[in-house]
């Protein structure tokens, strides 16, 4: 095995002899990845000389968990949802992050007070607030346009296929909202068996009209190709398609599902020091504000908000497109990490059985 | 071929040495012994040639699979991190109510696990069998960071009433032994109830038996389709003059040599609702613009794409058998008054059966294990059991369940492989 | 497949119908591969033939997707001349993927071909003990579902020393998952059955008395192998090697499971691309791969003809 090691070192050295320091960042791909490359990676490499490798995943928590369990960690920084950050931290997989080491806001406010509530966890630092929203292709309907989550389930008035993600977390809530449950009570209802039954019963009504998606870029593609007339989608992705590619899409903010994306560092990260450097750099006030120039996600620092201005095209005002705008918050569901840490496995199983049965 | 006793030379020698005056070689040893020695040497030499590869395959392939399958019946997630309460379970009978010692052991284990940050792993293991318990462990772990005082039972119940649930204790008892059949039970939609009896899981959670059934059914459909499409082609290729058939053969081999992902992509391009096929149908007026067909992201997509991908595996063995069929048999049948259909059915077709068997088994074996194509074009109704294995491997991380599902699939494939070897002979496998 | 002169009108009709059916099946086989080629030159980001394309208007076609293959990942795609190409060579994602695919494909083919050919020579000897069983084991990587193989390798390659721990040793060793060596070994394993099958097939037609003749004329085993056996079985070895290379070049499941961020190969990049966005850029890659496989196929066909000529086997 020693020879193997020497051999493998020799081989990897052979191919990448030139690389000095680097950091592997696992993120969500697509337009979101592009925004991170522009706002974080390029200035980071320019300033420190550390090369950043971006790796795309459907959900970066998935490879992270697998890598930790197998004792084979290859990524240094992962961009994950809050519930996964808490869960992985509980399992002792992540490095604990002391908020004191994060840079203060330009006016001197310490990081602890600058980040929005919930954005700093034991092992994670949020970079953005984002929403899953309903979006539709305006060319698919005539006359009246859909307005609410209930319209999503109304295939009579608004014909065409629907796009939904193939997981329970971002489908069940929508069914309940459409069924008349107020956003604030979603988790109370979903915590009971009757509530889950109710959500599945609502989903049953459109089951045959659903095209399921898995990666964040897929729903945008489905909408653009005309495969679906309405879909749920991450708000930044659909904004990108609407503004940068002039696609005829509209967003329905009713029943928005809000979540944060957090940077975490696994304990066994191969480039630990570079990872910490990256995390500190990417979550400072200016960087978070810069990201909003490339994608419509809200910065996780309060001090960044005033720095958010126009989209990269120089004309589009970003504020109304943010998931944190007043209109967007009217009937928004906030993610409940505890609930999902507990019930995810059971819900996934039931969801799969539901999907598989015809 | 390998059997020495059947070697004609060996036979000659053994009769010769049985005679009164045994033959000897130049150095005086009896010829039979000299021959046996040289044969032993030849055998060893042949084996030495194979040995490096055999060792390589054993280390890089057989051992990893064996190691993975071990997880299907071995999971120490609970027992390794909760040693005291596991010991209590080992000492007591099933059905024993937890006594003071049990509660004390549980409290001690939970405190230690909370310190070591392993309590979430324990919770995950129990959550496999009893959903909704993961947070019980993590939240109790958090509450215990400051330590716990007796009476343990009352204090634990105060943190969470669920600790008193007999079902929870039954599940913990099961998990306290690292060797378990529970994952195999789960893989066939069974579970143990509070008394330890094996029962079917709730109807709304049953999925694997159905998926195994679907996998085999779809594989059968695909095998049948490759036969229907492959037979005429193989027949044409076998009866055309070689120059022409070699040219047409390229049309069969090109897909065979083209990247699997490329072929899957092109089916996506062809079959999606705004894709080429639907465009063509609308353009020719066969369907209306609003009636575009859903041919992908469902079973139809999986069937079409997999039939296309596996078709060469049916054509090639059929072709090699059909080439050897003497055309004069059919002519003789015709001259004896058989109609062309009868001649085909009674004379030609039976002779193609070896090729058909080989092709069908190969296609079926490959189809049951397919992963990439159903994942990309299968939507939800076109998913096969491999997709579930991949899901448990990479996203839910219930590796023991993934391993149990894999073991069942592997067993089915190996049985078929054994049948193939019996019927066709593994050395008759040909490519191109 | 000429129609006999005594065929009845019904048989004639059936015969032509049969030819049409065969034509349709050939179309089914080949159409999916052909259709992506024109679409990869689409000027628009769609998968359909635009009106401009149907009218064969040159404006409907463009090389933009091929260009985007180069630009994707480059630091400065606007540079010109030497700066552009050195940037592309170092940073363009698809070029990096191609380099990885070739490195991994080359080494895994080398391992598979050397070990596979040796083993096939052993298996072809009549004295070989347990021939059938061993053959079945060596072919099994082709039969066992890839998802099972890949998961098994994922665990084993993550901690390759677990095996030694089991027998009481406490070695210090790194991991194979996430290294080039790991992917190479995995791909070699998957390529081996193809080498065994093709080389064994060549050896069946190989006249063992040639070896004996060489030996009787005083050649030692090594000379016999390199001067007599090798030239004759070479076509089989090469076509086995090609199969092994294509297997590695097309493999995505194992590399998804055991490859690290560095081992981004073409199929893995395509897999991401298909899930992320099936833009015509993916079709451009697909077209290049089809051209590549046509080249390989031609090579194999030429080799086969050469082998028949050398062995004096005339086509039946």
* Nearest residue, CB atoms, B263 vs list C21, C33, C119: C33
Contact A172, A202 (CB under 8 A): no
In degrees and rounded to multiples of 5, residue A318 shows phi and psi of -80, -35
For residue A2, the model assigns a pLDDT of: 43
Contact B147, B111 (CB under 8 A): yes
For residue B22, the model assigns a pLDDT of: 67
For residue B10, the model assigns a pLDDT of: 43
* Nearest residue, CB atoms, C261 vs list A24, A58, A225: A24
Q: How many CB atoms lie within 10 A of CB C230?
A: 13
Strands A77-81 and A249-264: antiparallel
C61 CB-near residues (< 8 Å, 6+ apart): C41, C42, C43, C53
CB pairs under 8 A between A and C: 77
Nearest CA-CA distance, residue B202 and chain C, Å: 28
* Low-confidence stretches of chain B (pLDDT beneath 70): 1-22, 427-432
Which residues on chain C are in Cβ contact (under 8 Å) with B421? 132, 136
Q: Is residue C27 part of a domain?
A: no
CA distance C159 to A237: 39
Tokens of A176: 């309940």
Confidence of residue A358 (pLDDT cuts 50, 70, 90): low
Q: Tell me the residues of A at the C interface, defined by beta carbons under 8 Å apart.
A: 1-2, 4-5, 7-8, 11-12, 15-16, 24, 26, 29-30, 53, 55-56, 58, 70-72, 74-75, 214-215, 217-218, 220-221, 225
3-state secondary structure B12-57: HHHHHHCCCCCCECCCCCEHHHHHHHHHHHHHHHHHHHHHHHHHHH
Give the DSSP H or E segment for A128.
strand A124-137
Confidence of residue A216 (pLDDT cuts 50, 70, 90): confident
CA distance A131 to C303: 59
B12 CB-near residues (< 8 Å, 6+ apart): none
Q: Is C3 left (phi over 0), alpha (psi -120 to 50) or beta?
A: beta
Could you tell me which residues are beta bridge partners of residue C42? C61
Q: Is residue C68 part of a domain?
A: no
Q: Which of A69-78, A287-296, C235-244, C269-278 has the least mean pLDDT?
A: C269-278
Tokens of B230: 């492959």
CB pairs under 8 A between A and B: 83
Nearest CA-CA distance, residue C223 and chain B, Å: 17
Q: Is residue C268 part of a domain?
A: yes
Over residues A254-267, the mean pLDDT reads 92
Over residues A223-233, the mean pLDDT reads 89
CA distance B109 to B119: 9
Asked if pLDDT for residue A249 goes beyond 50, the answer is yes
Strands A332-334 and A249-264: parallel
Tokens of C85: 């190409």
Q: Is residue C1 part of a domain?
A: no
CA distance C269 to C286: 12
Beta-carbon separation of A212 and B204 below 8 A: no
Q: Is residue C20 part of a domain?
A: no
Give the DSSP H or E segment for A233.
strand A230-234
Closest CA to C120 of A272, B425, A295, B427: B427
For residue B214, the model assigns a pLDDT of: 93
CA distance A104 to A110: 5
CA distance C232 to A101: 70
**Arithmetic mean of pLDDT over chain C:** 84
Asked if pLDDT for residue A17 goes beyond 80, the answer is no
For residue C316, the model assigns a pLDDT of: 37
Q: Is residue C153 part of a domain?
A: yes
Over residues C118-126, the mean pLDDT reads 87
C133 close to B (CB below 8 A) = no
Which residues on chain B are in Cβ contact (under 8 Å) with A63? 394
Hey, of B41, B64, B406, which one would you mutate to test binding to chain C, going by the most C CBs within 10 A of its CB? B64
CA distance A217 to C275: 8
- Write the pLDDT tens digit of every residue in A188-205: 999 898 999 999 999 999
- Domain interval for residue C138: 104-311
Q: Which domains does chain A have, with CATH numbers?
A: 20-129+260-326 (3.40.190.10), 131-258+329-356 (3.40.190.10)
Contact C147, B389 (CB under 8 A): yes
Which residues on chain A are in Cβ contact (under 8 Å) with B214? 356
* Nearest residue, CB atoms, C141 vs list B61, B386, B427: B61
C298 CB-near residues (< 8 Å, 6+ apart): none
Q: What total of structural domains would you count in chain C?
A: 1
> Chain B residue with minimal CA distance to C194?
B431
User: Angle between the C93-124 and C230-249 helix axes, to the nearest 10 degrees?
Assistant: 140
B272 close to A (CB below 8 A) = yes
In chain C, what's the furthest Cα-to-Cα distance? Answer: 81
- Write the pLDDT tens digit of every residue in A103-161: 998 888 888 889 988 889 889 999 999 999 999 999 889 888 999 999 999 999 999 88
CA distance A128 to A282: 11
Closest CA to C271 of C260, C285, C292, C287: C285
Contact B85, B172 (CB under 8 A): yes
In degrees and rounded to multiples of 5, residue A132 shows phi and psi of -100, 125
Higher pLDDT, B3 or C249: C249
CA distance B323 to B236: 10
> What value, to the nearest 5°, has the Cα angle with vertex B365 and ends B360 and B367?
95
H helices present in chain C, as ranges:
9-39, 51-54, 64-71, 81-91, 93-124, 131-143, 146-158, 162-166, 180-204, 209-216, 221-224, 230-249, 253-258, 266-276, 280-311
Hey, of B1, B8, B50, B321, which one would you mutate to test binding to chain C, going by the most C CBs within 10 A of its CB? B50
- Write the pLDDT tens digit of every residue in A287-325: 998 888 888 898 998 888 888 878 877 778 888 888 888
Give Cα separations from B392 to A178, A324, B399 (angstroms).
31, 35, 6
Give Cα separations from B60 to A46, C176, C188 (angstroms).
42, 11, 9
Q: Which domains does chain B have, with CATH numbers?
A: 4-70 (no CATH), 83-204 (no CATH), 208-428 (1.10.3720.10)
Strands A230-234 and A249-264: unpaired
Higher pLDDT, A3 or C172: C172
C28 close to B (CB below 8 A) = yes
Exposed e or buried b per residue across C248-270, where buried means at least 16 C-beta atoms within 10 angstroms of its C-beta: bbbbbbbbbbbbbbbbbbbbbbb
Q: DSSP 3-state assignment of A97?
A: coil
Contact C64, C39 (CB under 8 A): no
Closest CA to B210 of B188, B192, B195: B188
CATH number where C178 lies: 1.10.3720.10
> Chain C residue with minimal CA distance to A222?
C277
* Nearest residue, CB atoms, A62 vs list B131, B211, B394: B394
Closest CA to A106 of A286, A278, A281: A286
C292 CB-near residues (< 8 Å, 6+ apart): none
Which residues on chain A are in Cβ contact (under 8 Å) with B388? 352
Which residues on chain C are in Cβ contact (under 8 Å) with B48? 122
Higher pLDDT, A329 or C116: C116
For residue A14, the model assigns a pLDDT of: 40
Q: Is residue C179 part of a domain?
A: yes
Tokens of B236: 């044409």
How many Cα atoms occupy the beta-carbon half-sphere of A275 within 13 Å?
25
Q: Is residue C182 part of a domain?
A: yes
């Amino acid at each position: 095995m020693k020879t193997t090691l020497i051999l493998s070192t020799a081989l990897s050295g052979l191919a990448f002899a030139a690389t000095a320091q680097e950091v592997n960042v696992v993120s969500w791909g697509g337009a979101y990845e592009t925004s991170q490359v522009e706002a974080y990676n390029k200035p980071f490499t320019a300033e420190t000389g550390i090369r950043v490798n971006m790796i795309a995943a459907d959900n970066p928590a998935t490879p992270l968990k697998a890598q930790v369990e197998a004792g084979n960690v290859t990524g240094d920084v992962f961009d994950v949802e809050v519930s996964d950050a808490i869960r992985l931290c509980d399992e002792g997989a992540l490095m604990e992050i002391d908020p004191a080491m994060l840079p203060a806001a330009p006016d001197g406010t310490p990081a602890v007070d600058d980040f929005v509530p919930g954005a700093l966890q034991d092992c994670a630092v949020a970079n953005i607030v984002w929403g899953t929203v309903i979006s539709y292709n305006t060319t698919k309907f005539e006359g009246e346009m859909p307005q609410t989550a209930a319209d999503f389930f109304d295939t009579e008035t608004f014909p065409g296929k629907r796009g939904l993600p193939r997981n329970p977390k971002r489908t069940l809530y929508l069914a309940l909202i459409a069924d008349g449950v107020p956003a604030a009570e979603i988790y109370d209802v979903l915590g009971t068996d009757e509530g889950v039954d109710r959500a599945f019963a609502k989903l049953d009504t459109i089951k045959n009209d659903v095209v399921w998606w898995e990666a964040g870029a897929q729903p945008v593609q489905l909408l653009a190709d005309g495969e679906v007339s309405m879909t749920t989608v991450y708000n930044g992705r659909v904004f990108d398609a609407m503004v940068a590619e002039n696609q005829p899409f509209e967003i329905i903010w009713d029943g928005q599902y809000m979540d944060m994306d957090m940077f975490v560092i696994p304990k066994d990260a191969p480039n630990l020091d570079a990872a910490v450097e990256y995390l500190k750099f990417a979550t400072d006030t200016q960087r978070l504000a810069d990201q909003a120039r490339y994608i419509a996600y809200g910065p996780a620092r309060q001090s960044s908000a005033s720095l958010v201005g126009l989209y990269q095209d120089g004309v589009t005002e970003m504020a109304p497109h943010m998931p944190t705008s007043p209109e967007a918050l009217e009937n928004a569901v906030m993610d409940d990490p505890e609930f999902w840490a507990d019930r995810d496995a059971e819900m996934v199983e039931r969801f799969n059985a539901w999907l598989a049965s015809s | 071929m390998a059997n020495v006793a059947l070697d004609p030379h060996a036979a000659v020698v053994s009769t010769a040495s049985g005679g009164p005056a045994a033959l000897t070689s130049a150095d005086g040893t009896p010829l039979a012994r000299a021959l046996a020695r040289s044969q032993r040497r030849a055998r060893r030499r042949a084996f030495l040639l194979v040995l490096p590869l055999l060792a390589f395959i054993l280390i890089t392939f057989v051992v990893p699979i064996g190691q993975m399958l071990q997880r299907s019946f071995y999971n120490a997630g609970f027992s390794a991190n909760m040693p005291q309460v596991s010991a209590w379970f080992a000492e007591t009978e099933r059905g024993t109510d937890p006594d003071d010692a049990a509660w004390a052991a549980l409290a001690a284990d939970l405190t230690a696990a909370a310190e070591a940050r392993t309590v979430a792993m324990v919770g995950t293991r129990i959550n496999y069998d009893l959903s909704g318990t993961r947070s019980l462990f993590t939240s109790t772990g958090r509450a215990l960071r400051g330590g716990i005082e007796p009476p343990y039972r009352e204090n634990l119940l105060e943190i969470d009433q669920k600790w008193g649930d007999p079902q929870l204790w039954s599940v913990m008892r099961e998990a306290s032994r690292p060797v378990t059949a529970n994952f195999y039970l789960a893989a066939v939609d069974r579970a143990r109830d509070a008394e330890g009896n094996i029962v079917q899981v709730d109807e709304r959670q049953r999925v694997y038996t159905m998926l195994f059934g679907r996998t085999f059914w779809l594989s059968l459909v695909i095998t049948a389709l490759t036969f229907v499409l492959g037979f005429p082609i193989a027949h044409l290729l076998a009866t055309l003059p070689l120059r022409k058939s070699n040219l047409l053969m390229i049309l069969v081999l090109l897909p065979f040599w083209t990247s699997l992902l490329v072929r899957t992509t092109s089916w996506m391009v062809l079959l999606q609702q705004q894709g080429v096929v639907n465009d063509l149908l609308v353009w020719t007026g066969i369907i209306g613009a609003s009636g575009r067909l859903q041919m992908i992201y469902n079973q139809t997509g999986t069937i079409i794409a997999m039939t296309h991908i596996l078709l060469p595996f049916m054509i090639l063995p059929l072709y090699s058998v059909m080439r050897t069929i003497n055309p004069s048999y059919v002519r003789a049948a015709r001259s004896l008054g058989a109609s062309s259909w009868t001649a085909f059915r009674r004379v030609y077709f039976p002779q193609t059966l070896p090729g058909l068997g080989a092709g069908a088994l190969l296609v079926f074996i490959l189809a049951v294990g397919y992963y990439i194509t159903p994942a990309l074009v299968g939507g939800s109704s076109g998913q096969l059991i491999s997709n579930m294995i991949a899901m448990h491997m990479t996203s839910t991380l219930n590796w023991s369940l993934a391993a149990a599902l894999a073991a069942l699939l592997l067993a089915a494939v190996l049985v078929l492989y054994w049948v193939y070897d019996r019927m066709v002979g593994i050395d008759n496998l040909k490519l191109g | 497949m000429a129609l006999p002169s005594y065929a009845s009108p019904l048989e004639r009709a059936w015969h032509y119908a049969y030819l049409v059916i065969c034509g349709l099946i050939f179309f089914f086989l080949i159409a999916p591969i052909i259709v992506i080629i024109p679409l990869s030159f689409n000027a628009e980001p769609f998968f359909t033939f635009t009106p401009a394309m149907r009218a064969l208007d040159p404006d409907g076609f463009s090389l933009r997707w091929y260009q985007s293959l180069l630009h994707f990942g480059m630091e400065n795609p606007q540079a010109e001349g030497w700066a552009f190409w050195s940037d592309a060579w170092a940073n363009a994602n698809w070029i990096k993927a191609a380099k990885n695919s070739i490195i991994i494909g080359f080494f895994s083919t080398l391992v598979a071909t050397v070990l596979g050919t040796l083993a096939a020579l052993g298996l072809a000897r009549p004295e070989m003990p347990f021939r059938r069983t061993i053959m079945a084991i060596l072919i099994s990587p082709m039969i066992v579902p890839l998802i099972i193989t890949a998961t098994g390798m994922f665990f084993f390659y993550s901690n390759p020393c677990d095996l030694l721990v089991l027998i009481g040793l406490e070695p210090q060793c790194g991991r194979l998952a996430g290294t080039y060596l790991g992917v190479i070994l995995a791909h070699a394993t998957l390529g081996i059955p193809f080498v065994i099958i093709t080389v064994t097939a060549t050896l069946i037609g190989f006249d063992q008395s040639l070896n004996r003749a060489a030996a009787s004329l005083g050649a030692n085993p090594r000379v016999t192998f390199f001067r007599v056996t090798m030239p004759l079985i070479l076509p089989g070895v090469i076509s086995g090697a090609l199969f092994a290379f294509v297997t590695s070049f097309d493999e995505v499941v194992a590399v998804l499971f055991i490859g690290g961020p560095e081992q981004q190969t073409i199929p893995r990049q395509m897999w991401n691309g298909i899930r992320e966005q099936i833009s015509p850029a993916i079709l451009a890659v697909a077209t290049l791969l089809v051209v590549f496989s046509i080249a390989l196929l031609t090579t194999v066909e030429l080799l086969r003809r050469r082998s028949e000529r050398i062995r004096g086997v005339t086509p039946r």
